Chain A
C-alpha cells in the first residue's frame, strides 16, 4: 500500500506538469481560435446572403455530426496522404479549434438573436452602421448571454484535450498513461489523472461564476 502512495506522490508533478504545459495551453489556444471561427460562422449563418448562410450551416452540421476523435485523426493521420504533414501540436490545435468553432457558433448565433430588435433600431436611429451596432451594442449584450454556455464549451474542451494523447501530444493524460505503462498500476494512475482533471475543471467553474457576476452588473437582480 505504501508503494502505491509513493507512486501517487512521485507521479503527481509530471501529471500536473502535463496539464500545465499541455492541456491548459492546448485548450486555451484552441478556444481563442475557435471563438474567432465561431463568430465568423455565426455571422455567416445570420447573413442574408443564402450561400454564406448555407456554408455556415454546413460547417456546423459537419462538426456536430462527426466525432471529435475522427476529426482529430483525419487531420493528423489523414492529411499526410494528401501531402499535408502536420506535427502533433498544430494538428491538435487545428482539430480542437475547428470543433469549438462549430459548437460555439450556434451559441453565439443564439445570443445575437436574443438581443431585442429594438436595440438594433435604437442604434440605427442614432446613426450607427451595421458593424458599429454589432460591435458596440449587440455583441456586448450577446456576450453576457453566451458566457455560461461558452464556459461549458471550454470546460468540455479541457477534458476533450485528453484525446490529443492519441496523437502523441504530451499532455496530462499522456503523462499518466506513460507512468501507468511503466508501473503497471493502471487504477492508481488513471484515478489520479481523473482527480487532477477534476481539480482543473473546478477551478475553471469558479472562474466562470466570477465572470458571470462581473457581466451581470447592468442587470436587475
Chain B
C-alpha cells in the first residue's frame, strides 16, 4: 500500500443502489484522502446526490463498502446494524442544495441544535464556537435572526456552519450554490474555498467548473450511475479523455 492510500479518509468500493428496479448507482468506487477535496460532476440524474445520501445514511445502499475515518468500515452486502449506520452518519455532515434550515429556530439555534441536543456538549462552549464560526462566514450579529430574514447566500452559509459545528470528519456538499441568485454564489464559494485551504476533507457536487478546478484535488465525472472519468481537475475539465466528459464540460461552458 502506498502512503497516500493509508491516508484515505473516505474509501468507497462497489457502491450500488437501485430504486424499484432502476439502478441509480452501479459499482461506484471513491477514495478521498484526508484533507483533500473531491468534486463530483455530471448531468442531472447521473446519481451524484444519491452518492452523498448513501455516505450520510439518508439512503441505504444495496451493496458495496463504505469506510470513513479510522476503524469504521460498513459492508452493505451484509446485514447492517442501526449502530453502524449511525456511526457512519455521525462522521460526515451534509450541506443541502436548498439549505434545509429549521425555519422555527434562529440562526444560533439552528447551529447549536446538533451539538447540544445530540452530541450533548456543554451549551456555553457550543454557543461560543458557533458565534465564532458565524463571524467567520460573515454572519456576525445575525445569530438571533430567523432563516426567512436572511438572503439565500446567508442561509447557505448558516447551513455550512451548522455542518461545521458538528465537527465531522467529512463534509458533503450537494450543489450548494445551485439555488442561489448568481450574485450570491461567490460568497458561498469563498467560504467553501477557505474550508479547503484549512484542509477539511470534502466531497462537493457542483456545476461550478471554475470553482471545481480551483478547489478540487480530484474530479469525478459521473453519468448513468457509473464513474466515466476521474483525475486531476486540469485534465478532466480541460482535456478529458472520454467523449462523454468532453461533451458535458463543453455544454456547461457553452450553454448556447
A contact set with B: CB distance below 8 Å = 116, 118-119, 121-128, 132, 136-137, 140-141, 144, 217-220
Contacts and interface: CB of A to CB of B under 8 A. Distances in A.
Nearest to A117: B100
B7 to A, nearest CB: 25
Interface residues of B, number: 27
25 contacts: A116-B100, A118-B96, A119-B100, A119-B102, A122-B96, A123-B102, A124-B58, A124-B89, A125-B58, A125-B93, A126-B93, A126-B113, A127-B86, A127-B119, A127-B166, A128-B114, A128-B117, A128-B118, A132-B117, A136-B117, A141-B104, A217-B146, A218-B104, A218-B105, A219-B148
Contacts of B100: 116, 118-119, 121-122
A137 B93 CA distance: 18
A122 B104 contact: no
Given A125-B56, A125-B58, A126-B113, A219 B118 contact: no
Interface of B: 56-58, 86, 89-90, 93-94, 96, 98, 100-105, 113-114, 117-119, 146-148, 162-163, 166
A217 B56 CA distance: 32
Query: Taking each of A118, A124, A125, A128, which has the highest tally of chain B beta carbons within 10 Å of its own beta carbon?
Result: A125
A127 B98 contact: no
A145 to B, nearest CB: 11
Nearest to B94: A125
Query: Taking each of B93, B113, B166, which has the highest tally of chain A beta carbons within 10 Å of its own beta carbon?
Result: B113
Given A128-B118, A218-B146, A118 B98 contact: yes
B103 A141 contact: yes
Contacts of A137: 102
Nearest to B103: A218
Contacts of B119: 127
Contacts of A125: 56-58, 89, 93-94, 163
